[in-house]
Homo-oligomer: A and B are copies of this chain.
């Protein structure tokens, strides 16, 4: 095994160790370099061969989380093409993502309002991507001004993310109920934005 290859492998071991230690009870801030190193199977000091400090590791985790968010969007688009019902399919896909990647979603959720400005900015950027894609979609679907589409998309993302946060503390049998509620909220929003816009322009 080549040297660079091995290095990349333990780098991934560190990242995985960090993700696995994130949980409902433990946020990134309360992660310790030594514990992460222990789980990754290296000495504490070897950590520095890969990251300058914990913050750098944290930003890497946020990047990975953003990547998964983009995978989620792709999957949602695929399902929508087959299924049709846009809002319902999107929310259902999102809820599955939250259920299957709780720790990843939790990271985004927490660091969005966390103590590090850099983390907050990084998360905000990822979510911004998310909203922008949705806005683009909305503009194609219903013809409206760009600014308006963006604003609507952000409201939708906010509502869906909030439901995701609730889902983390709810038993799985409540998911369907949460989904139904959110779908209704999004429909109101879409309906209102469309008719309100028409009223203004008329």
Which residues of A pack against B, CB within 8 Å? Answer: 24-27, 29-30, 106, 109-110, 112-117, 120, 151-152, 154-155, 158-159, 162, 165, 169, 181, 184-185, 187-193, 195-196
Which B residue's beta carbon lies closest to that of A110? B113
User: Chain A interface mostly helix, strand, loop or mixed?
Assistant: helix
Residue from the list B29, B151, B181 in contact with A181, Cβ < 8 A: B151
State how many copies of this chain the complex holds: 2
Complex CA gap A13/B187 in Å reads: 49
Q: Tell me, rounded to whole Å, the shortest Cβ–Cβ distance linking A124 to chain B.
A: 8
Contact indicator B30/A117 (Cβ below 8 Å):
no
Chain B residue with Cβ nearest A169: B120
Interchain CB contact under 8 A, A185 and B115: no
Q: Is the CB of A151 within 8 A of B185?
A: yes
Smallest Cβ-Cβ distance to A191: which chain B residue = B192
Q: How far is the CA of A192 from the CA of B117 in the complex (A)?
A: 36
Complex Cα–Cα for A117 and B106 (A): 13
The residue among A27, A154, A158, A188 with the most chain B CB atoms within 10 A of its own CB is: A188
Known: A189-B192, A191-B196. 9 other contacts (CB 8 A): A25-B115, A25-B117, A27-B114, A106-B113, A110-B113, A110-B114, A152-B188, A159-B159, A162-B162
